Amino acid sequence: VTLSLQTGAQAFLREITLPNNAKVAVLGASGGIGQPLSLLLKNSPLVSRLSLYDIAHTPGVAADLSHIETRASVKGFLGPEQLPECLKGCDVVVIPAGVPRKPGMTRDDLFNTNASIVATLTSACAKHCPEAMICIISNPVNSTIPITSEVFKKHGVYNPKRIFGVTTLDIVRANTFVAELKGLDPARVSVPVIGGHAGKTIIPLISQCTPKVDFPQDQLEKLTGRIQEAGTEVVKAKAGAGSATLSMAYAGARFVFSLVDAMNGKEGVIECAFVKSEETESPYFSTPLLLGKNGIEKNLGIGKISPFEEKMVAEAMSELKASIKKGEEFAKNFK
């Protein structure tokens, strides 16, 4: 009897803490990234509750998604007064809120608008779900992650293992472009991308690609440049109608699913993300991370890289540090 009670209790505990019970909030759920991201999350058996927040349209988005025949319950929350309720009990919060780039804009041009939005939203997270994993998509990520960290510090609940800048789209693009050039299945290609999430701070480690691939230097430089400027490629193609939303939603969902898998006890889950780091002289840096129950289990570092890649890391430092400092200064003065 004791044995069956024990296993019953274990099964019950597993049911509480284990698969298919992630409570996920999307802040900015009505936007260009937020809607397709919410759709992908609703479609996943890993998610049991989906809380959708925005300053407009969330009741409609939530009603629409709630009709999908998957088990996640969906609820929409509208406006700042409903944000605390949205965040209560969440395990993972994903933040794609903010304004997108238009042609001719850099990610840094979004700073003034998006910095305030991220500071406000993460402040609510620090108050209402301080233990949750925080996944920031809002650009410029190189600054919005330092902002998030400073906000959590202000509230006395900072845990660097739980705050992630989602750079997964850089990895997804690198995998796709390498696969195209080599005639491979992109699902089987894995290219780590380190550094930051803007222009020349995006550093694809083609030398660490699995399967191993080789490119002549001129092709390698062109490929690297395309990965770094892929976001701008989409901004231009959309001709004023926004930036990468669908591929970003895919990449955001991929990161969340990896994180939830790891939180559920799956072993060997590795994703790159822009996080607090001691791997370089930059206080934040993206590298492959081993994910676990409590977020970052282990930073796997940069590993062995080519002289070409080393040069890119060195050249990214000043821009990275400046973007980080800009975010930190903003957060210190944010009321």
- What residues form the annotated binding site for substrate? 101, 107, 139, 173
Active-site hit among 57, 67, 155, 197: 197
Other beta carbons within 10 angstroms of residue 213's beta carbon come to: 17
Centre a 10 Å sphere on the Cβ of residue 47 and count the other Cβ atoms it contains: 26
User: What is the widest separation between alpha-carbon atoms in the chain?
Assistant: 70
Catalytic residue at 197? yes
Annotated binding-site ranges for NAD(+): 28-34, 54, 114, 137-139, 248
Collapsing DSSP states into helix, strand and coil, what is residue 130? coil
Q: What is the C-alpha to C-alpha distance for residues 302 and 194, in angstroms, rounded to an integer? A: 8
Binding site, residues? 28-34, 54, 101, 107, 114, 137-139, 173, 248
Cis peptide bond N-terminal to 186, omega within 30: no
Q: What is the DSSP letter of 201?
A: G
Cα Rg, the chain, nearest whole Å: 20
**d(C-alpha 78, C-alpha 59), whole Å:** 7
Alpha helices in 1-110 (DSSP H): 2-17, 34-42, 58-66, 83-87
Strands (E), 92-225: 92-95, 133-136, 163-165, 193-195, 202-204
Q: Which of 326, 275, 282, 241 is nearest to 135 (CA)?
A: 275
Angle at 226 between CA 223 and CA 227, to 5 degrees: 90
Report the amino acid identity of residue 128. Answer: H
Cα–Cα distance, 165 to 275 (Å, whole number):
6
Q: How far is CA 123 from the centre of its chain?
A: 18
* 138 closest CA partner among 164, 114, 122: 114
Length of the chain: 335
Q: Please give the positions annotated as active site.
A: 197
